Structure 1
Amino acid sequence: MVNAILAAILSFFIPGLGQALAGDIKKGVIFFVIAIVLGFILGWIFGMGIITYIVALLYDLYAAYDAYNMAK
Structure 2
Amino acid sequence: MEQPKNPGLAAVLSFLIAGLGQIYNGQLAKGIIFIIVYFFSWLLMFVLIGLITTPILWIWGMYDAYKVAERHNQRISNGM
Report the TM-score range of the alignment, normalised by the length of the smaller protein.
0.7 to 0.9
- Relative to the length of structure 1, the TM-score reads 0.81
Distance 1:22 1:62 in 2: 15
Q: How many Å apart are 1:15 and its aligned residue?
A: 0.6
Query: What 5-or-longer segments of structure 2 have no aligned partner?
Result: 71-80
Alpha-carbon distance in structure 1 between the residues aligned to 2:58 and 2:10: 12
Q: For 1:19 and 1:71, how far apart are their aligned partners in 2?
A: 9
Larger radius of gyration: 2
Q: Does 1:57 align with 2:55?
A: yes
- Aligned twin of 1:15: 18
CA distance in 2, matches of 1:13, 1:59: 13
2 CA distance for matches of 1:17 and 1:34?
13
Q: Is the 8 A contact 1:7 1:64 kept in 2?
A: yes
Alignment match, 2:29: 26
Following the alignment from structure 1 to structure 2, what is the Cα–Cα distance between the partners of residues 12 and 58?
12
CA RMSD of aligned residues (A): 1.8
Structure 1 residue 65: deviation in Å? 0.3
- Overall identity of the aligned pairs, in %: 35
TM-score, L = length of structure 2: 0.74
- Tell me which residue corresponds to 1:71: 69
> Any runs of at least 4 consecutive aligned residues in structure 1 with deviations exceeding 3 A, and if so which?
none
Q: How many residues align?
A: 67
Q: Give the match's secondary structure for 1:11.
A: helix
**1: distance between equivalents of 2:33 and 2:24?**
14
